[in-house]
Chains A and B, each alone.
Chain A
Amino acid sequence: MTGTGLLERRPAGRRRRRGLVNGQRPGWKAYGFLTAVMLGSMFPIYWSFLIGSGDSTTITQQDIVWWPGGNFIDNAIAVLEDDSVNFWRAIGNSIIVSTVVSASVVLFSTLAGFAFAKLRFRGRNGLLVFVIATMAVPTQLGVVPLFIAMSQLQLAGTLWAVILPAVVSAFGVFWMTQYLAQALPYELIEAARVDGASMIRTFWSVALPAARPAAAMLALFIFIATWTNFFWPFIVLDRQNPTLPVALSLLQSNYFVDYSVVMAGVILSTIPLLILFVFAGRHLVSGIMQGAIKG
């Protein structure tokens, strides 16, 4: 079970055939187009840094400023010290929520995926269809009762209110089922059983290691989704205890808005994911492409 095997498996055969049709390298137009797309992807991020490193007058100048100024650190400090926003708290909260949610989604998805992919039990197919169907259900629309419930449980305003509704994911179960179905040979399970391992032991020492590449990708996607999630945290959390997107929205709704400070906040909240992207971007790419082939 190599770490990179997830994507490599499929294209191998295709690459050989590919040469016949469009084997020749495309001309400069293709690269020109892709460069334009990429600049379009990067420009808004660069722009936010331009504003975030200037001062409050940067955006009101007639002549557009194209180079960063020297005030980013000052603006960032202004964000972090803004008492009405609790940015430090927000960073900590986002780390906690995203980590806990991705860990629990991966654990429960792998457990269920193992059962769906490799174990036989009555009602398996029907239940799996149910899981797939729920992927299309906009559960976000249940916010009203969810809020009522969280208030009655005295959880509104706490991180539990954000974590609890996100601890399982139908997509995650589907994803792990698909992966384990092809990545975990029955022989391995059988061998473990022959050696006297209980089911849970088999899961722990055979299925879980085999699931690692897909589990890592799932964790990555859930982490990003949770980190960037706004609607529900915005409803259920309050000013004193926000996640990063909620804190950003507070920065902007301050009575006096200094956009250089807002943009510094945008940059601060995006940097962690940009770093993640540098190291794990290729896994995101292959994860999306992997999911598309299966889904």
Chain B
Amino acid sequence: MTTTDTGRSAPRPETGPSAPATDSAPDTGLSAPITKKERSVRRIAISQKLSRWDVEVSPYLYISPFFILFAITGLFPLLYTAWVSVHEWNLIGGQGDFVGFDNFAFVLSNPPFWIALRNTFSIFLISAVPQIALALFIAAVLDRNIRAKTFWRMGVLLPYVVAPVAVTLIFSNMFGDQYGLINNLLGQIGIAPVGWHSDALASHFAIATMVNFRWTGYTALILLAAMQAIPRDYYEAAMIDGAGMVRQFFSITIPQLRPTLIFVIVTSTIGGLQIFDEPRLYDQTGQGGASSQWMTITIYLYNLGWGQLNFGRAAAVAWLLFLIIIIVGLLNVAITRSIAKAS
């Protein structure tokens, strides 16, 4: 065994510690000052074997905590949800009879699920679309040669450190139907108060505002990073061809951002369709409004599981939401691809 295979992408792990200690490299400072003769051939063999074993097994040892713990706490519960969803299962009584797809049938044949689905998508669209548009604009401004870059970047990121629960408590106060700041301000310019809690669409708008408050700056920084990776020559060429700023933005920036936009849209889909904190705390009772105006799928899941103590149905909702997220995620990728290609 020699140490000559340099220039490889990975070090040959076989260049174990035993080899250099015996034949060369007297200047490896850390090795103990044992003379070569003191080491028996036999000891070398054992330590070589140990070292080989060390090299071969260690990688698996190092990745195993992640895989084992993820399997137990992430993957297994998700899969086991499917098992719970085809059984009668109560919080108190535990597992009951196998009921096939009865839980799914119940969920799908009753209005709350569809109302929740409508609300979830409405809130998601009202938040994601303006958020990404505004984030693109903020990123474009930050991408220019401004002074005090770090200051402005930190400025847009500030809301990220406010917990969704805290954001919700602040905004549900500002969006109060009676004494809220926003209705108060609207009143001063002569606009009738809006039913931010009583009206479905208005409540979706308020909840979307909370989501956007926390995430727009974060999204802008992701997009900014991607913008900075676009070679500046592209813009130079476009300028020579007489393209203005707006044209450059749509013909160079947007297409170049495609992978990042897909990433942003997919992550906001995964998060957005599971929305819980904001609608749960938008009023005191947490049921999603008197007539379920802003009840989302995850709130419905929670109500079934921990309100009605029916885990079978809650699990069915969890699986349905899981499928919806996958479908919408794939759809998003397809749409974003075609849009970015067209422009």
Q: Do A and B come from one complex?
A: yes
Given contacts A194-B3, A263-B169, contact A293 B145 (CB under 8 A): no
Contact of A285 among B13, B221, B311 (CB under 8 A): B221
Selected interface stretch from A69-77, A81-89, A109-117, A210-218 = A109-117
Contact size range, B: 35 or more
The 8 Å CB contact of A141, one of B63, B78, B155, is: B78
A60 adjacent to chain B (CB < 8 Å): yes
**Residues B154 and A285 in contact, CB atoms below 8 Å apart:** yes
User: What is the CA–CA distance of A246 and B263 in the complex, to the nearest angstrom?
Assistant: 31
Report the minimum CB–CB distance from A204 to chain B (whole Å).
12
Main secondary structure on chain B at its contact with chain A?
helix
Task: Say what secondary structure dominates the interface of chain A.
Answer: helix
Q: Are B305 and A144 in contact (CB under 8 A)?
A: yes
The one of A44, A200, A259, A292 in contact with B167, judged by C-beta atoms closer than 8 angstroms, is A44
Number of A-B contacts (CB under 8 A): 334
Q: Does A96 contact B (CB under 8 A)?
A: no
Are B15 and A145 touching (Cβ within 8 A)?
A: no
Whether B161 contacts A277 by the Cβ 8 Å rule is: yes
When the two chains form their complex, are residues B322 and A141 in contact, meaning their CB atoms are under 8 A apart? yes
Q: Pick from A31, A124, A266: contact of B170, CB below 8 A.
A: A266
Q: How far is the CA of A44 from the CA of B57 in the complex (A)?
A: 53
Contact B305 A24 (CB under 8 A): no
- The winner among B62, B284, B325 for most chain A CB atoms within 10 A is B62
A147 to chain B, nearest CB (A): 8
* A193 contacts chain B at the CB level, 8 A cutoff: yes
- Contact indicator B70/A145 (Cβ below 8 Å): no
Q: With A and B bound together, what is the CA distance between A199 and B223 in angstroms? A: 39
Q: Does A95 sit within 8 A of B, measured CB to CB?
A: no
Residue of B nearest to A170 (CB): B70
- Say whether A195 contacts B17, CB under 8 Å: yes
- Do A224 and B17 form a contact, CB below 8 Å, given A51-B173, A108-B69, A139-B78? no
Q: CB distance B58 to A108 under 8 Å? A: no
CA distance A234 to B19 in the complex (A): 57
Tell me which residues across on chain A come within 8 A of B281, comparing CB atoms: 249, 252
Q: How far does the Cβ of A16 sit from chain B's closest Cβ, in whole Å?
A: 10
Among A116, A190, A203, A266, the residue within 8 A (CB) of B169 is A266
Q: Which residues of A contact B59 (CB under 8 A)?
A: 115, 119-121, 124
Q: What 11 additional pairs, Cβ within 8 angstroms, besides A138-B270, A193-B13, A193-B17?
A: A20-B232, A24-B145, A44-B174, A59-B173, A64-B184, A115-B59, A143-B318, A167-B73, A253-B286, A284-B157, A288-B222
Task: List 30 A-B residue pairs with CB atoms under 8 Å apart, sorted by A's residue number.
Answer: A22-B235, A26-B146, A30-B144, A38-B158, A44-B167, A48-B169, A48-B173, A119-B59, A124-B59, A139-B78, A143-B301, A168-B65, A168-B70, A170-B70, A173-B66, A193-B15, A193-B16, A199-B58, A231-B276, A245-B163, A245-B277, A248-B163, A252-B169, A253-B286, A269-B166, A270-B163, A277-B154, A282-B154, A285-B150, A292-B225
